[in-house]
Amino acid sequence: MNTARILVLAIAGCAGLAALYLASGSDNKPAPATPPVAQLPTVDILVARSDIGLGQTVKPDDLQWQTWPAATASNTFMRRDTNADAIKDVTGSIARAPFIQGEPIRQQKLVKADGSGFMAAILPTGMRAVSTEISPETAAGGFILPNDRVDVLLSKRDKNPDRNGPDIVNSEVILTNVRVLAIDQAPKEKDGANALVGKTVTLELKPEQTETLARARQSGTLSLALRSIADVNATDVNTEDNRNRRGETVNVIRYGVASQATMQK
């Protein structure tokens, strides 16, 4: 056999043996130690096991304890280490606002009915629930839903001093940025509907606003103007200022023709 070929085979064999030795030696080396994972402090927080709708009575099956990072646990959450009987305490309460699955339970969104009706239970302190008649024509075509914000307008039809002329229609905003509590007997949307047609609307009003609405119902026709969701925290317009502004010129629509009229003092 050729001497050169024998030399090449010998070198290849030595290289193979060296590789095998190195491979076997590396298997015996201890694996590098995994650094310990830092454990964040946690607490058990009471959360909704399933969705809880507006006005729903809370049951034990609707609740569960869930581990939560202590650093992000708000003081408004219900914690097991400070109130182990929270499930028992919350059971029977009425949801003043909906909870979604996994949302922490907060006392501010619950109320104990103590035998009172649902509407009385969800009303904020000092507020009143007042109902008035509506129609699709006076309620934004039925697109006003519970929890929306609206302005209430009063329209009056006055006799024209000119006996041969058409009646004069004057309109003014009597209430601004008030919350809709219910349409008919529905305090919430039905099956995600974006329109809810009814004959009665229930509004959340201050005591002095209830008097304004009661007088207006006897004076003319009421209409609701839907407000943008961005106006929820807008400052209310003082209705007393609206009344003091009588005598100013306003636009009046007469049989589809726009004209101007002076509001009477």
Query: What was the pLDDT predicted at 64?
Result: 95
Query: What was the pLDDT predicted at 68?
Result: 92
Query: What was the pLDDT predicted at 29?
Result: 56
The angle at the Cα of 188, spanning 185 to 192, to the nearest 5 degrees, equals 125
Whole-prediction pTM value? 0.56
Nearest C-alpha neighbor of 139 from the set 193, 203, 190, 188: 203
d(Cα 82, Cα 74) in Å, to the nearest integer? 13
**How many other C-beta atoms lie within 10 A of the C-beta of residue 180?**
21
Residue 171: strand, helix, or coil: strand
Query: What was the pLDDT predicted at 3?
Result: 73
φ, ψ of residue 171 to 5 degrees: the values are -130, 145
Q: Name the residue type at position 190.
A: K
Per-residue model confidence as pLDDT tens digits over 44-92: 999 999 999 877 889 999 999 999 998 888 889 999 999 999 999 999 8
Query: What is the token pair recorded at 202?
Result: 């229930």
Note the CATH number of domain 42-112. Answer: 3.90.1210.10
Nearest C-alpha neighbor of 104 from the set 71, 54, 67, 59: 67
Name residues whose C-beta falls within 8 Å of residue 89's C-beta, 6 or more positions apart in sequence.
83
Of the chain, the percentage scoring pLDDT greater than 90 comes to 27
Nearest C-alpha neighbor of 153 from the set 181, 176, 124: 176
Would you kindly state where each structural domain of the chain is located, as residue ranges? Answer: 42-112, 115-188+197-228
φ, ψ of residue 238 to 5 degrees: the values are -70, 115
Query: What was the pLDDT predicted at 188?
Result: 65
Per-residue model confidence as pLDDT tens digits over 128-150: 999 988 877 777 777 888 888 99
Chunked into runs of 10 residues, the chain (265 residues) has average pLDDT values of 68 72 59 72 93 88 94 90 92 88 92 72 86 79 83 85 76 91 74 68 92 89 88 57 46 44 44
Q: Report how far apart, in Å, the C-alpha atoms of 21 and of each of 7, 10, 80, 156 are.
A: 21, 17, 59, 103
**How many other C-beta atoms lie within 10 A of the C-beta of residue 182?**
24
